[in-house]
Amino acid sequence: MSDIKEIKLVDVKNNSNIINNLNSIYKLWGYEEVSPSFINTLQTIKGRGVIDENQVVGIVSNNSLCLRPEMTTSIVKLSSTRLINKKRPIRLFTNGMVFDKKQNNKNSFKLQEKLQSGIELIGYDTKYPEIEVINILFDSIDNINLKDGCNLFLLVSTTKIMDLILNKYKNNNFEEIKKSLVNFDQDNLSKLGIDEDDKYILKDLLFTRGEPIAILKKLKTIYGTSKTLDDLNFLFETLSKISNKYGVKLQLDPTFQPHLNLYEGIVFQLIGDNGKNKSVIAKGGRYDELVRSFSPNEKIFNGIGFTISVDILRNLIKEEKTDKKRILLMFKDSYLLEKGMNEQKEQQKRGNIAVLHLNPCDDLAKANQIMKENNCSEILWVK
């Protein structure tokens, strides 16, 4: 079974406009475009533990290859091969399709292709590369004409908070506790053989989310002062200033973890909420260990980026109205064809959309029908 479908012309146009707008922002921040391969080796995906092999779309003719399930791994691999001698930090952006499959039932899979756009910042010698990447994410979306009422908030967490929460359980139901927290499973937490006071704290954490500085203060009352929480406090104080500038709310959720086993450190999702539906517009985070895996000789082991779902963003934008004229050029005699081509070029120089009907026509009713068929607003008769 496949979720691959034909895309409407208007959607193709909107996709192109979105990507052009995003690319223009990426370039202003000093990012360069790359085009990584659609094809990965299964060993690359499996060996780095990025995604479950069962969710990967394999290539039938070669069982060792698969279509890319995400773009970060391909780009990090690129940075360790063709871009190995490029001065760090590396700032890259890309656009393209990713592919995955989900199991419908025991014998059926649903294949999906998704259009994404995003950036990767690799090898930045700073403690907080998140500041640049999240700033670019906000700037990129701010450049898109979103529908009214599309309230944006950035859901943030970090694997370091999860490490802090789970530290005392390394030898006692560690994996079950982590699974229960990530899956919001109160029932499973209740069944675990751990102290009742601990169960109360863990259940409370499931409902602990909100303004980052307030949440960090609560975590300090539970786990005490730590360098991890102090560092996050500084980071979120900085990010709060950026988010306020763009009108994006920050929400810290200590138990939020991403679907892909790719990130280590900060993870985030940009979500649009119109009051009825919530849409995940973008996802991202740090993947320092992935950089280390591909490039063990790197001096700086950090990488962070995001991907924007163009398919989702397309449904959140306002319909753009163009002030360009769309003119149909017509002529009654075939000898006027060359003159019509010259007039078409003149109209295009003026910024008008000009469609030349290549066959002579002297029937006004038919001409009006052709004008409608070509979505033109007026006819210019070449004489």
User: What residues are designated binding site for L-histidine?
Assistant: 70-72, 116, 120
Q: Confirm if 69 and 55 have CB atoms less than 8 A apart.
A: yes
In angstroms, what CA-CA distances link 73 with 101, 109, 196, 229?
18, 24, 42, 29
The token duo for 342 is: 């010259």
SS3 of residue 76 by DSSP: helix
Beta strands (DSSP E) in the chain are 32-33, 39-41, 58-59, 62-67, 90-105, 108-122, 151-158, 249-252, 266-273, 278-286, 303-309, 326-331, 353-356, 378-382
Q: Which residues does the annotation place in the binding site?
A: 70-72, 116, 120
SS3 of residue 279 by DSSP: strand
- How would DSSP label each residue in 131-197? HHHHHHHHHHHHTS-BPTT-EEEEEEEEHHHHHHHHGGGTTSSHHHHHHHHHTT-HHHHHHSSS-HH
